[in-house]
Amino acid sequence: MSSTNEIRKHLHIKAPQSRVWQAITDSAQFGAWFNVALESPFVVGQPTSGQITYKGWEHVRFTLHTEALEPETRFAYRWHPYAVDTKKDYSAEPMTLVEFLLEPQDGGTLVTVVESGFDRLPPERIAEAFRMNERGWDEQLENVRAYVGA
């Protein structure tokens, strides 16, 4: 596995695992901290779409495909990473796998985000998608922490 195939981030959140799980897997709550107005709940095997609400990116449509909802431990989905060019059709490209892994730690919750599969992307997209998402996951984990009030 190359160094550009997987992003792995960890963050301890001083909140119960059940609270963090709800913030991550309830599509309305996910949308609140991820800055996307999702139109439907997360259902394994189904896509969930919506409009980005983050300032400057409102023109971008967001879709993820839920792979797993393992209560209070693992939420996984596939998506097209950094798919922000509205003139480009990303549908034929491979998707990366994003996993949120939760475990109790020190009276709170350890959240690990793993995004893998970048090396399957078209070569011209790998570096930018990896770079943008590596930074993005740091920001999104802090958004989760702020959202749950920890």
Q: How many domains does the chain divide into?
A: 1
Q: What is the value of pTM for the model shown?
A: 0.95
* Residue 23 lies in domain: 6-148
C-alpha triplet 143, 148, 26: angle, nearest 5°: 85
Alpha-carbon gap, residue 140 to 149, rounded angstroms: 14
CB 140 within 8 A of CB 33: yes
Alpha-carbon gap, residue 104 to 109, rounded angstroms: 5
CATH number, domain containing residue 102: 3.30.530.20
- 3-state DSSP assignment of residue 34: helix
* Per-residue model confidence as pLDDT tens for the chain (150 residues): 447 799 999 999 999 999 999 999 999 999 999 999 999 999 999 999 999 999 999 999 999 999 999 999 999 999 999 999 999 999 999 999 999 999 999 999 999 999 999 999 999 999 999 999 999 999 999 999 999 986
Alpha-carbon gap, residue 12 to 108, rounded angstroms: 7
